[in-house]
Amino acid sequence: MSHTNQVGRRHFLGSAGVAALATTISSSTRLAETTVRAIEKSPETKSETRVDHAYEMREHAALYQKTLPLPDQSTNGDDELYANKIAGYTKALPHDAVGEVDRQEYEALTGALKSQPANMETIRLGGVVKLANPQAGLGFGLEGADSHHLGIAPAPKFASAEQAGEMAELYWQALTRDVPFSRYDTDPLANAAVADLSRLSEFRGPRIRGQIRAETLFRGTTDGDLTGPYLSQFLWQDIPYGALSISQRIRPSVPGVDFLTSFDEWLAIQNGAIPRKTMHLDPTTRYIRSARDLTRYVHEDFSYQAFLNACLILLGLKAPFDAENPYRRSATQAGFSTFGSPHVLDLLARVANHGLKAAWYQKWYLHRRLRPEEFGGAVDGSFRKGLDHPVHADILNSAALEIIFSRSNTYLLSQAYPEGCPTHPSYPAGHAVVAGACATVLKAFFDESFEIQAPVEASADGLSLIPYKGTALTVGGELNKLAANISMGRNAAGVHWRSDANAGLRLGEAAALSVMRDERGCFSENFAGFALTKFDGSSLVV
């Protein structure tokens, strides 16, 4: 179903646009490069000429972005398909006694999104919790592609086998939150998850030679994800922070405590109530050793924290910059503000927020996909209340549900956080978009083939790090794994879907590439372009 947004222009970047963005340097940008180099080589150039050329470079970059292809952007059609709006994001709006949204208020929300920002103030919420920043999706960016010029594929349909497969994975992730990553191969629950996910008709998690195994469980699908320990080295190794060294031991939440497992608690949170329960923390600091610990990390992190840390670790390791870095070939100069540590540290922050604007446009103005906790309400309603919800049989027949019910007397998806999910739609995942953008920058700046020295993994109790002995771990593989860890950690908390993570990584990647492409014409150095490996395994220079 094609969606027409009435606020602003509809600019999206499909697969053709991504290819053009990643591999094409337009004639206007080549002109900009020529002019800036001529200016740097001409000491007698007047300042007015420099101003003129700077203006021309901005104009050329904007023209390039404007002329990129604008393919149609489609949703999965669920919003129009179900009159009760069961497939859409509705949290913080008023709901009835069985958990279905007040349709008048849902229409008020969608109407406000399609009209004027001021109309958002007329929406009636169900409680005191506010909606998270819908207007961010309308913000412009003056660097890289506009947020409305980047696109993703439609989300899986509510009634599809693919969504059922994703929900089964989430139930198992919730059940195994306290299982150490290092014990997935021997833990009975983890092995039950492998068996159950293997029987699903449309589960799209990673496999080894076509088989789901303990070593593929809850991992991402990018290069590097299946190599070595579950967690990336960048979440374990100490972080050089100026004259300080920061240990990555955290205070995790205590094992065995989950939230939104009773229907009354779940319904109150859907209506926007303040949680009555609180998260209790382990008094002992530990290295991340389980999904429970990882959910705690991605609950408290700031937007690009893990990737700032990764950058600092790489700089501390003196990991080589990419072979295309012009100063790797210089006998007399070293990079700093360009092609040095200040450059990459600055770019991380810029691409992170640039990607988030694109994500918020997709979330609020296009897909408005429901959160997994909302889907859990539909599964519970089908079983316990006899409601006619179009839930696929693959999830209704999952072996996870019997265990879920034995623990809570409901079929709700337990949450790692007292408040459940954030108050913005699910697709794509914001953490994943930032991860995709920042990992892309780091892969562009550092030599992806460089092997991580002295790799480690956490002990089962998280109290120590022990040497990892196994296949060599490379910068590129561990950055891909870090992006997957941050994304899948939100899934383990119960707040996102696997497809939210996959789409988010690729949207973030495209956002970062667009910013780097605009930067490409701004250097005086003899620079062939940013070279990196994308999440799909292909190589490019931009």
CATH number at residue 173: 1.10.606.10
Q: Which of 149, 367, 431, 496 is catalytic?
A: 431
**Closest among 150, 146, 57 to 520, alpha carbons compared:** 57
pTM as predicted: 0.91
Query: Phi then psi for 473, rounded to 5 degrees?
Result: -110, 125
Does 166 map to a domain? yes
- Residue 53 annotated to the active site: no
Q: Cβ(113)–Cβ(32) under 8 Å?
A: no
Query: Phi then psi for 219, rounded to 5 degrees?
Result: -95, 170
CA dist 42 → 45, 58, 135, 337 (Å): 6, 21, 45, 21
Does 39 map to a domain? no
Query: Hey, what are 389's tokens?
Result: 């919800």
- Residue 148 annotated to the active site: no
CA angle 120/124/128 to nearest 5° reads 100
- Whole-number pLDDT of residue 46: 56
For 259, the 3-state DSSP assignment is strand
DSSP structure string for 456-503: EEE-TTSS-EEE--SS--BHHHHHHHHHHHHHHHHHHTTS--HHHHHH
Does 46 map to a domain? no
**Closest among 523, 371, 506, 539 to 439, alpha carbons compared:** 506
Q: 335: left (phi > 0), else alpha (psi -120 to 50), else beta?
A: beta
CA dist 504 → 14, 99, 133, 432, 526 (Å): 14, 28, 18, 5, 33
Question: What is the distance, to the nearest Å, from the Cα of residue 352 to the centroid of all Cα atoms in its chain?
Answer: 10
pLDDT digits (tens, 9 = 90+) for 308-358: 999 999 999 999 999 999 999 999 999 999 999 999 999 999 999 999 999
**Which parts of the chain sit beneath pLDDT 70?**
1-47, 71
Does 78 map to a domain? yes
Does 4 map to a domain? no
Query: Phi then psi for 223, rounded to 5 degrees?
Result: -60, 130
Rounded CA-CA distance 148/390 in Å is 32
Task: Name the residue range of residue 209's domain.
Answer: 15-26+67-527
Does 540 map to a domain? no
Does 44 map to a domain? no
For 197, the 3-state DSSP assignment is helix
Does 50 map to a domain? no
- Whole-number pLDDT of residue 117: 84
Q: How big, in percent rounded to 5, are the helix, strand and coil portions of the chain?
A: 45, 5, 45
Q: Cβ(263)–Cβ(150) under 8 Å?
A: no
- Helices 475-492 and 498-519, axial angle in degrees (round to 10): 140
- Whole-number pLDDT of residue 47: 62
- Whole-number pLDDT of residue 349: 96
Q: Which of 3, 95, 354, 424 is catalytic?
A: 424
Q: Tokens 């901005």 correspond to what residue? A: 58
* Count of domains for the chain: 1
